[in-house]
Structure 1
């Protein structure tokens, strides 16, 4: 898969109910410090500013999930962020997204805060976002992400 805005948007659409379009990806990729780390069946988009980094989005094709790709991408993002001077890596995740929360817990992320009613839901009340952080000066948990080449 290429890292073009169109390719990222197409894959994002397979992974999210409210996907970002190619224009949104193009605008993000034009910003300083933003990088797309791309594999055939997934990608992670990060932004590094000074000594902090943020995971903007992580998308894995549904048929490729549960094989270690997501964790491998998170590890690659952590390594890339650290190489660019970041000491902490942050992200937001919907409180009701058990699969993503499990993935980030395996990678060593810890809850650092909450954004009430951050994620709108079409058929129900808005859901809180959990703000997670990872200290990049510590090694990742032993064995994390080793299943995916």
Structure 2
């Protein structure tokens, strides 16, 4: 069965492929101080418990992606990243909705994520999609200036 979801701006969302690792690493590095290397993405893309969802156009140019881990009845959003030139077009929201939709076909009943308390657009997105803050982790994210940001731990039931 082919899994596809519609996305804004003429994009669609589909499962990631091993060949996407380098592009995912590039996009991730544009959004996070410590981007993950392509080898890390190769490991994720090879593991059926860490599905990757890519938002791309008809020529498969990737605008953004979401990566989750599913373990028994829990899922975790490991990362979500959108190329800066595609931000503000609701690509992140479409990716999150595709993830939540796909999780309905798994045993997962609750989803967790961590987000920097400084990432207000992401926090608002997660809140709109039913996530609530359940705890925080001080000093969780290193920043370029040597300081550290607090992570908010958020969760929501999956239905």
- Fold conserved between structures, TM > 0.5: yes
Rounded Cα–Cα distance in structure 1 between residues aligned with 2:78 and 2:103 = 13
- Structure 2 counterpart of 1:30: 46
Rounded Cα–Cα distance in structure 1 between residues aligned with 2:123 and 2:77 = 14
- Structure 1 counterpart of 2:131: 109
Report the Cα offset of residue 84 of structure 1. 1.2
Rounded Cα–Cα distance in structure 2 between residues aligned with 1:107 and 1:65 = 18
Report the Cα offset of residue 114 of structure 1. 1.0
Report the Cα offset of residue 29 of structure 1. 2.6
The alignment's C-alpha RMSD in Å is 1.7
- Structure 2 counterpart of 1:56: 78
SS in 2 for 1:34: coil
- The alignment status of 1:90 with 2:81, answered yes or no, reads no
Q: Deviations over 1:6-30 (max 9, x none)?
A: 1211222232232111011112233
TM-score by length of 2: 0.79
Tell me the number of residue pairs that the alignment of Structure 1 and Structure 2 aligns: 137
Specify every segment of 5 or more residues in structure 2 that has no aligned partner in the other structure, as ranges.
1-13, 57-62
Q: Deviations over 1:38-59 (max 9, x none)?
A: 1121110011110100111101
- Structure 2 counterpart of 1:45: 67
Rounded Cα–Cα distance in structure 1 between residues aligned with 2:155 and 2:31 = 23
Report the Cα offset of residue 124 of structure 1. 4.6
- The alignment status of 1:133 with 2:159, answered yes or no, reads no
Rounded Cα–Cα distance in structure 2 between residues aligned with 1:85 and 1:112 = 22
Task: Please identify runs of 4+ aligned residues in structure 1 that moved more than 6 A.
Answer: none
TM-score by length of 1: 0.84
